[in-house]
Structure formats: structure tokens, C-alpha cells
Amino acid sequence: MAEYIIRRGKPDDAWVACYPWPMGYEPKVRAQLTWSEHGLHVAMTAWEQTIVAKEWRMGGMVCQDSCMEFFFQPMPESDARYINIELNPLGVMHIGIGAARQGRTVIMEYPEGMRPEIQIIAGECWTARYTIRTDWLSSLFPGWAPREGMRMRGNFFKCDETIHPHFGCWHPVHTKEPDFHTPDDFGELLLAT
């Protein structure tokens, strides 16, 4: 099982380089996470010349647009639920919480302080940055607080179901058809200094 170190300062790179369902389009994607007492700080960049962003509703089907995603289990030893955070180049998010694909609670408003910052360099790449705040996570997962040595599980994804269909991941997914809702395929996430 792969491990990604989430550092308190300078981020390490995690590359979405596994495309288990070949479709002929495999953009280069980098994910970077850091942590502080305030929460988890996420930055993802996709290098692709053409992007699409049509979904404008929070909680909508952003996965059909050019989309970058971070799924993670904050407390995998005691709580099977995971959070999926998906977003398109408009900064529109789909956030779900639950233990499986079915029966997920979808968040219909941006959590406080989590509205993403988007940067688009036309014809080259797009970047999304946002913070998953400690107070929001601890309201969903009582007792959660970032600390050195904490272990979580998760995966980073890239997809698009329109102009250039593709489904990529950081940690390999072992399903016949594209499916990111597979927590058994999540890698290890370790908080360190």
C-alpha cells in the first residue's frame, strides 16, 4: 500500500499517474497536502490544454466536467465513513460523506473557509486550492484534530466524462469499471513534520 506524507510545512508531491481504465487520455496531475492546527490544506494541478466546466450548482455532477478529487477517511480505525471532495474549474464542489457509494450525505453549501481558489492558465493547466478546516472535520468526526503521527487513508483522482473521458488515480483502484468509491483501494496518509 502506497503512503503519502502530509507535512506541516513544504508539501510533498503525489502524482495521479495510474489510469486503470485506458481511454487514450492521461493528463499529468499533481496533488499536494499540508497540515496545520487549522486543518488540511489541499492543492491540485492538472496539466491539460482543454478543460470543460458546465456544472455551477454546489453538490452537482462536477465529475462530468474536468474534475479533480480528493477522497479520505479521517479516522479509518474507528469510523468507516469517508469524505469525497470533487471540484471543477469553476470552483464548484461536490462534497459527500458516508461509508459507501450509496446513502451518502451531500453537502449543499460550502463549509466555512472552504471555498476553493482556482487558477487557470489557458491551454496549459488549472490549479485548485482549498482548506478543510479542523472545526468542520471535528464536527463530523468527533475527536478529530490534526497531529504528528496521525494516520488517515485516502486517494486523489482526476476525471472527465465529456470532452476527454478519463479516470485516473494516485493509488491503484481494482475495479473492472471506473469507480472511485472504493475505500479498500485508498492509500495511507501520514501527518508528519
The DSSP bridge partners found for residue 129 are: 43, 117
Q: Can you give the pLDDT at residue 9? A: 85
Which residue stretches of the chain have pLDDT < 50?
Answer: none
Q: Which residues contact 174 (CB under 8 A, 6 or more apart)?
A: 20, 182, 185
Q: Can you give the pLDDT at residue 164? A: 93
**What is the rounded CA–CA span in Å between residue 50 and residue 184?**
32
Sign of the CA dihedral 18, 155, 183, 26? negative
Q: How far is CA 39 from CA 132, 138, 146, in A?
A: 6, 10, 7
SS3 call for 124: coil
**What's the chain's length in residues?**
193
Each residue's pLDDT tens digit, 68-83: 999 999 999 999 999 9
Q: Can you give the pLDDT at residue 110? A: 97
Each residue's pLDDT tens digit, 22-53: 999 999 999 999 999 999 999 999 999 999 99
Alpha helices in the chain (DSSP H): 134-140
| pTM score, whole prediction | 0.97
Q: Where are the strands (E) in the chain, listed by range? A: 3-7, 14-16, 28-36, 39-47, 67-73, 82-87, 93-98, 105-107, 117-121, 125-133, 151-160, 166-169, 187-192
